[in-house]
Structure 1
């Protein structure tokens, strides 16, 4: 049966991805998602004019989602978990179509075992949806090549459009798809095949083009910070494990070589899988030689389905069930360190794993517990330091609903100004309303909390308030200020 290859891997993926989905601490990017998704539709659209247009479709989807199910950690991560689960089914079905049932089952399990599949299947960002889009687009292309009906090409067009809307870099997958179509055409010599693919791909890109163009104009602000890293280092980060990266790459090579020596009809399928998996890699590397680096682990996740399919073919080449099972168990064992690291409490801020952290995580929930334990109605709050740490929104996110803190120095909220951050009062002293107490939250550890604020804000607080308590949750400072009589 056509459906048998996908069932077991998909059930396994659902269990793996949803296990403790709400446990890891929310981190900067996820807090941005929640902050934007809980704005009004008009406020979201105003933001997209300035920044984050490439995340616009995801934000609008999450706006509807959070309206229905809420914005708790598990709730906002569930769409990503469902996307990775569905992507597993697509991987298994694509593997079965190309190399048979055993290879399809192996491909599905391999994909679900990759640590970053779990990691980004539990993150409130759009990357899991991009992976699903890539897996689905490839599966739909294979279906269209089998029976090139208009409806199948139309659905493929929509999948391509979704890819472009969610992640511009993932459109390089079309290069592999185009090569696969040429291979299929070489065997059948049907001129209409090339025309249909070209029209479908072009229509998909055209639908995504407004987002792509706006995203390219905003790229300097959004991703100019991405550092250059050695390609293999990025490859390890893409899999979330050096062992799994090496194993999947080796198995993919085995899958290609084993099938190149197989029956005549299998060889084109092996080459098809190889070009879809590999062709985008050098293209992205070349495109990253300019001012902006696109060869970044999170942007390469869309390649995982194709590599899992080819690696599944490598395991499928073992043929005997005990050998296939042993190979999967070995990969599972290799994945354990990565799975453990990327499921830990503060794992979501470790996007550079297995290399050293780019920065230390912040304990927003612990800071919120300190504030909530001694909260009094009328308290205010000041969040000092760079906004991108999201420590102000992070603490507010974890506070109980009955704890409300006015941001005493905020003249205009991020939502009202159509930005990712709010605007501070030019004259802080005038913005104070004689709050009896003010909580100061900093994304640094210091025993002199007022020195972590801008000079005018520090002066206004020093004139009227005393610091009565300073505590240090992980990598943060929470201080309580009391107004003088």
Structure 2
């Protein structure tokens, strides 16, 4: 190959990776602050990442061990970020930058995977499709582990495809390490293993390849087993899950139908593992297996298997590469290509309002920052403070200064001292006694219409407020209602 041709090939190869990665980086950075809104799960990340490693380890013995590795990584990240960049960018950006970086790496991996399976044009379009999917953009701007897990599964899938074509020990070791890392970040990354296994079987690869994959899968599961067994002691953490969210199910159903439709387009794969052999199982199996598991114990949330969108991106990218090929190529007419181009432009235009919404505070279930500010506006020094239910105490994790001067009447031990997420509370009788000792109480609680907890502490809070206090004022912010209660005649007074 001549130097000019080699340089052209290098440029084309770079474009396949850099264009999707650049698009994902732009979409991840666009509106990343979200008006400094942080929602409750991100507040948990912030709180846990800012605990000392000894305190974090002690907490994980009781709660949230499934996210332990992620919290450690975020602890190390914040150690540097707080010292150098926090003053310029704030907490919200610090929480989300690792996820933006992870999704950027994932987009690059999807492009390389598409190129390996079909070709450069398919890889380029697969990477760009991945970046444009709204749920990808959502978790690219969220301080949780799901973007990292997605990136690891993408690159593990790429190593699997490479190992199937040219079996090498280092490729299998790399695949094993990436999948184990993904599973330790979140246990449900293990549901990518059946999809990979299905790809190996559907591709009818030699037995030695199948044996190598089985050895890798067993190693991953063996490495995950201690964490999985220990985490069963903390299964009450997902007791709030009921039947899957209809919107999440609809998103999966739409992508599944579109992905299956893309397989109708005639596509020639390049390697021993074909596009359909990997794309369809990755799109369908993790979600379907999680839904099946949810019939035994509710566990379905789409972000647990976010990487299923990689399967859709691969199938859609290959189909678009075929349908949008240059006029005259393989009988393609200019009019047909124009129609497909207009269709793609229309889809992107429809996604713009969704993308704008994802970058607003209203896109998450609550806004911890707005809640803290609203409470500060109505509270007076010396007021009593109640969180209803107690798990909403996480609302104070990122802005503790907005709660200074208020007396948390129910709190027995702080989250840090009790090695829990939300702290421990006094008995119902003790809470009632402390409530009756103050004149005004500010309640930070769930918005109207939410189910209420029926433990002694929550019953005591509700009963005492109803019997001994009146409402002075109430305001609703995203995901919460802030209400000021007072004894008769004390609405304007201090605590």
TM-score, reference length from structure 1: 0.80
- 1:328–1:101 distance in 2 versus 1, CA, 3 Å: farther
- 1:393–1:50 distance in 2 versus 1, CA, 3 Å: closer
Tell me the distance in 2 between the aligned counterparts of 1:161 and 1:265.
25
Q: CA deviation at 1:72?
A: 1.0
Q: CA deviation at 1:33?
A: 1.8
- Aligned match of 1:14 in 10, 21, 25? 25
Is the Cα–Cα contact under 8 Å of residues 91 and 306 in structure 1 kept in the other structure? no
Give the secondary structure class of the aligned counterpart of 1:311. helix
Tell me the distance in 2 between the aligned counterparts of 1:484 and 1:278.
58
- Aligned match of 2:101 in 69, 74, 82? 82
Is the Cα–Cα contact under 8 Å of residues 160 and 205 in structure 1 kept in the other structure? no
Mapping for residues 248-287 of structure 1, pairs under 5 Å: 248-259=255-266, 262=268, 268-287=274-293
Tell me the distance in 1 between the aligned counterparts of 2:359 and 2:45.
20
**Which runs of at least 4 in structure 1 moved beyond 6 Å after TM superposition?**
263-267, 429-432, 434-438, 456-460, 480-485
Structure 1 window deviating more from structure 2 (292-301 vs 110-119): it is 292-301
Aligned to 1:242: none
1:226 aligns with 2:241: yes
Q: CA deviation at 1:101?
A: 1.0
Tell me the distance in 2 between the aligned counterparts of 1:303 and 1:278.
7
- 1:468–1:336 distance in 2 versus 1, CA, 3 Å: closer
Q: CA deviation at 1:175?
A: 1.3
1:387 aligns with 2:390: yes
Question: In the comparison of the two structures, how many residue pairs are matched?
Answer: 449
Aligned to 1:339: 355
Tell me the distance in 2 between the aligned counterparts of 1:152 and 1:6.
21
Q: Which runs of 5+ in 2 are unaligned?
A: 1-9, 83-89, 327-336, 450-456
Mapping for residues 340-359 of structure 1, pairs under 5 Å: 340-349=356-365
Q: CA deviation at 1:97?
A: 0.7
1:236 aligns with 2:250: yes
- 1:300–1:308 distance in 2 versus 1, CA, 3 Å: same
Is the Cα–Cα contact under 8 Å of residues 384 and 440 in structure 1 kept in the other structure? yes
Aligned to 1:193: 209
Give the secondary structure class of the aligned counterpart of 2:417. coil
**Residues 51-70 of structure 1: CA deviation (Å, up to 9, x unaligned):** 22211111222222223224
Is the Cα–Cα contact under 8 Å of residues 157 and 204 in structure 1 kept in the other structure? yes
Aligned to 1:357: none
Tell me the distance in 1 between the aligned counterparts of 2:475 and 2:170.
59
Is the Cα–Cα contact under 8 Å of residues 130 and 166 in structure 1 kept in the other structure? yes
Mapping for residues 74-473 of structure 1, pairs under 5 Å: 74-186=93-205, 189=206, 191-219=207-235, 221-229=236-244, 234-238=248-252, 246=254, 248-259=255-266, 262=268, 268-290=274-296, 292-321=297-326, 325-349=341-365, 361=366, 364-372=368-376, 379=382, 381-388=384-391, 390=392, 392-395=393-396, 397-398=398-399, 403=404, 405=406, 407-426=408-427, 427-428=430-431, 439-444=442-447, 455=460, 470-473=473-476
Tell me the distance in 2 between the aligned counterparts of 1:100 and 1:306.
16
Q: CA deviation at 1:403?
A: 5.0
Q: CA deviation at 1:117?
A: 0.9
Tell me the distance in 2 between the aligned counterparts of 1:54 and 1:379.
39
**Residues 280-331 of structure 1: CA deviation (Å, up to 9, x unaligned):** 34433333321x1334322231211122111111111214256575454233
Aligned to 2:334: none
Structure 1 window deviating more from structure 2 (150-159 vs 323-332): it is 323-332
Q: Once superposed, what is the RMSD of the aligned Cα atoms?
A: 3.6
Q: CA deviation at 1:96?
A: 0.9
Is the Cα–Cα contact under 8 Å of residues 5 and 104 in structure 1 kept in the other structure? yes
Is the Cα–Cα contact under 8 Å of residues 157 and 196 in structure 2 kept in the other structure? yes
Give the secondary structure class of the aligned counterpart of 2:444. strand
Aligned to 2:38: 26
Q: CA deviation at 1:438?
A: 6.5
**Residues 88-108 of structure 1: CA deviation (Å, up to 9, x unaligned):** 111111111101111111111
**Residues 235-260 of structure 1: CA deviation (Å, up to 9, x unaligned):** 3345xxxxxx63x4455334423346
**Residues 410-467 of structure 1: CA deviation (Å, up to 9, x unaligned):** 22112221222222244358879x9998654343579xxxxx976479869x99xx98
**Residues 385-408 of structure 1: CA deviation (Å, up to 9, x unaligned):** 1123x2x44246346589565535
Aligned to 2:85: none
Tell me the distance in 1 between the aligned counterparts of 2:92 and 2:472.
30
1:66 aligns with 2:78: yes
Q: Which runs of 5+ in 1 are unaligned?
A: 239-244, 350-360, 447-451
